[in-house]
Structure formats: C-alpha cells, structure tokens
C-alpha cells in the first residue's frame, strides 16, 4: 500500500540525510532536476523532494540504508511559496535516470497523513494503493539542469488518489 510505504519511509528517515548533497546553489553547474510542482491543493506546509535509484528494490527505501550502501539519495525541503510558480531544484549524483518522489506535507509536521497530505512522482504515474514501479516514477537528467514537472496527487474518497486537476 502506498500510504503505508510513505508513512514507513517518513518515520524511518533521518531528516537531514541527503540535504547537503541535494541542495542546488546559485550558478552551480552539473546534473540537477528543476522540478515544477503542479496541482497543489493549497499554499501551506512543506514540500519534500527526494531522489532515489531508479530500480524497484531501492525506490522509496530507507535513506539510512541507501546512504550506508553508497547508493544515490538526495533530499530538499522548502516551505510552500504563498504565490507564484512553485519550483524546486535537486542535484543528481551524475547524468542518468533517477526516481523522484514529492510530498506535500500540508501541516508541516514532517509526517505523512493519508487523509491530508499529497504525493507525486516524476513521470506522473497514475496512483493506486501500491507504490508505482521505479521506471514509472523516473526521469532522465543530463549534465546540466534538466526541467521536469511533478503533479501532486491527493486522496479522493476512500479508495483513490489523483490530481485535483482533470
């Protein structure tokens, strides 16, 4: 179940892991994703963008385990801007393909709440009750900044997740 996996990941993670490696700096060169965030339910709380290896066994795995194994993991967080276009930048370890996940933590408590918070992935796969495959939630990145868009999905009713926009 996707909610259970995200809750487990949020509880097991160490909030500062991957932040220094993920943060983009002004005029910095190198591989990075420039993510435009679409479909936010509101302009409150925090956004958390994470980069994972693009394989099913490592996608959404515990950040402590990935870093200890020398595998790619990056994280950036920011407050949701009150207005305007919402963009996030996350550095990649090198050119290639990586899986990206985005959490809209609407109350800013650093915990995933199934009935409140939103989630999105690179490639914008249709969400069900299980996590998407890594290949569906991945995007290529080149040797410089690479634009991509992630649409946030929220729980709709008892049995579905989806974007607010149709």
Distances 96 to 15, 70, 125 between C-alpha atoms, Å:
25, 16, 20
Lowest mean pLDDT among 41-50, 83-92, 112-121: 112-121
Q: Where are the beta strands (DSSP E) in the chain?
A: 32-38, 46-53, 74-79, 87-91, 96-105, 118-121, 138-141, 145-151, 153-156, 160-163
Q: Does residue 1 surpass a pLDDT of 90?
A: no
Q: Does the CA dihedral 148-77-62-104 come out positive or negative? A: negative
Checking if the pLDDT of 93 tops 50, the result is: yes
Per-residue pLDDT, 163: 82
Predicted confidence at residue 155, as pLDDT, reads 86
Paired tokens of 58: 């490592």
Residue 84 has pLDDT above 80, yes or no: yes
Q: Using a pLDDT cut of 70, give the percent of the chain over it.
A: 86
Q: How do residues 53-67 score in pLDDT, each as one tens digit?
A: 999 999 999 999 999
Lowest mean pLDDT among 7-16, 56-65, 124-133: 7-16
Task: Tell me the percentage of the chain whose pLDDT exceeds 90.
Answer: 69
Statement: residue 10 has pLDDT above 50: no
pLDDT, mean of residues 24-44:
93
Q: 42-62 burial, b for 16+ CB within 10 Å, e for fewer?
A: eeebbbbbbbbbbeeebbbbb
pLDDT confidence bin for 28, thresholds 50/70/90: confident
The yes-or-no verdict on residue 37 having pLDDT over 80 is yes
């Amino acid at each position: 179940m996707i909610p259970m996996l995200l809750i487990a990941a949020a509880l097991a993670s160490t909030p500062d892991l991957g932040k220094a490696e993920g943060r983009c700096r002004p005029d910095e060169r190198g591989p990075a994703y420039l993510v435009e965030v679409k479909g936010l339910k509101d302009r409150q709380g925090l956004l958390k963008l994470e980069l994972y290896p693009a394989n099913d066994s490592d996608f959404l795995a515990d950040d402590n385990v990935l870093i200890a194994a020398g595998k790619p993991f990056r994280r950036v967080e920011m407050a949701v801007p009150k207005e305007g276009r919402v963009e996030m930048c996350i550095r990649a370890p090198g050119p290639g393909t990586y899986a990206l996940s985005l959490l809209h933590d609407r109350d800013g408590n650093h915990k995933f709440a199934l009935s409140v918070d939103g989630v999105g992935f690179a490639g914008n796969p249709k969400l069900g009750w299980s996590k998407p495959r890594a290949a569906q939630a991945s995007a290529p990145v080149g040797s410089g900044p690479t634009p991509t868009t992630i649409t946030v999905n929220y729980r709709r009713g008892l049995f579905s997740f989806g974007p607010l926009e149709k």
